[in-house]
Structure formats: structure tokens, C-alpha cells
Copies of this chain bind each other. A is one copy, B any other.
């Protein structure tokens, strides 16, 4: 186990905090097993050509842009906040959990009882946020004069002490629980895999990053999909296949009993619950579904 970032490896920054567990889990599915000791910041990866460091998601784009690491997984929001959009190569977007998790939205919010209806109504006011630069730019572009203060957490509370806040939300439920109302959305954000320009120009690093991106996307697809097998009467094959999503071409094989064929197809996991009852009613039998690790088209 090393406690430094080795210069002859691909140095990758991973987000600590709320994204850490899901990032490790995703990397594991992609084939990179990451473990971290208590309080350690240099996780161990089972790949000699890769060394990792944990940073707060807020910082990662800066350290990639400064070439302290070669690449990193971070949110689009912090890339913009740090002003690193033009300093980096964005290798791919990764929507960690497709069905149930919405992208993060940074919204301008005020108390339910506030008179503020639009951003303009805040002119002259004070806003608390963790995303200071994005907020300042947003109001400056609209010609609205405001004061923006950095907030160290429990931002929701400050919406009542000051005039408004800009805070991150997925479902809006935390805002509602604090009796706050969304006025406008400033920025929508998803995780990104980014590289420094310099690392991108080193052929072996670029190939390794492209491989990692392919495996990460394959793992995300694998989690969102399932394999399905069923037996279908030859006579009803066309009818059954018509239920399957158009872009899928199922594999059809003959069975010993020539009245029946075996059909196998890869489906979105969230189509399964709609499709299975239809397939069954259309005559399919012996339907089984099984989990996938990776799907690479």
C-alpha cells in the first residue's frame, strides 16, 4: 500500500463524502476494487497502474486543472464554480443511478411567506450559498445587484435570517420541510469523469482513461439492465416479439419441441415490470430474468 501518488501511474481523484460509497461501488462493478482504511485519503486500488486520492468533490476539478492529479470524478457544478470548464477534458458524463436519482439542481429559494417571486425581486438583498461564484455570475448577467455570502452548511435556516439562499436539491423535499419555495434554477449538474489536458496528451494515460470510461459506462448499463429468457410458441413469436422494445433484436433459438422457440433479450430493468405481464399474457412461458454485470453495446 502506497501513501503517495506515484508519478508513473495514472493518478485519479475520487470524491470523499456523500458520493464516496456509490463511487467505490461503481468502480468495483467496473472491475477496479477500491478500499480505504479509516480516515485514510489514499485508497488502495487493485491495479498497479492506477493510484487514487480522496478529495472533497468541491476541490477535484481544481486539482485536475493544476495537474496535481491526472483525472478525477466530480460534479459538473463544482467544475463550473471553480471556473475550470475550459481547463479540462470531459471524458464522459456518468449518471450514477439512472432510475431513482435525479440530477442535482442548484436553486434559488426563499421562505414560503416571502414576497419574492423572481430573481429581480432580490435586488439589494443578501443570499447565502456554497456556490458563490455561480450565484454571483447568474445575478450579474441579469444586472441584479446582490450580496452573496458563503454559507458553511445548514443553509436552509439562513433563508429566514437573510433574504434567500442558493442550495442543492434532488427532490426538493428538504426545502419543503423547511417551508422554502424554489424561485429559479441556476444550474443542473451530474457527475463527470474529467482529465487534465496534459494527461490527455500522454498516449498510455489517454488509452487507460478511455478504458476506464468504457468500463464505468458498461457497469452503469449493466446495473440498469437485465437478461430475459423465455419459451414462446412458434405460432405466437411475431406477436410476442412485437412487445419488445423496437431497438432490441432478440436471439431466437430452436428447442427440441419444434412447436416452441427460446427467445433471449437484454432489457432495461425498469421495463421489466411492464413487459413481463404482457409477455405472459401473450403466451410466453418459462420466463426467467437474471442480473448483469456490464453491458457494452
Contact A296 B290 (CB under 8 A): no
Q: Judge whether A211 is part of the interface by a CB distance below 8 angstroms.
A: yes
Assembled-state Cα–Cα distance A253/B99 (Å): 34
Q: Judge whether A55 is part of the interface by a CB distance below 8 angstroms.
A: yes
Contact B100 A152 (CB under 8 A): no
Q: Which residues from B are CB-within-8-Å of A140?
A: none
Contact B276 A16 (CB under 8 A): no
Q: Which residues from B are CB-within-8-Å of A285?
A: 297
Closest to A284 in B: B296
Minimum CB–CB distance for A50 against chain B, Å = 10
Interface residues of A in 25-64 (CB under 8 A from B): 30-33, 35, 37, 41, 46-47, 53-56, 58-59, 62-63
Contact A273 B99 (CB under 8 A): no
Q: Judge whether A222 is part of the interface by a CB distance below 8 angstroms.
A: yes
Contact A273 B30 (CB under 8 A): yes
Give the oligomeric copy count.
Answer: 6
Identify the A interface with B (CB < 8 A).
1, 4-5, 16, 30-33, 35, 37, 41, 46-47, 53-56, 58-59, 62-63, 68, 99-100, 149, 151-154, 157, 160-162, 171-173, 210-211, 214-215, 218, 222, 226-227, 251-253, 255-256, 262, 266, 269-270, 272-273, 276-277, 280, 285-297
16 contacts between A and B (CB under 8 A): A4-B160, A41-B154, A46-B100, A53-B157, A59-B152, A68-B161, A210-B277, A211-B277, A215-B273, A226-B293, A251-B262, A287-B296, A288-B294, A289-B294, A290-B292, A291-B291
Instruction: Name the 6 nearest CB pairs between A and B, nearest first.
Output: A31-B273, A56-B152, A287-B296, A289-B293, A211-B277, A289-B294
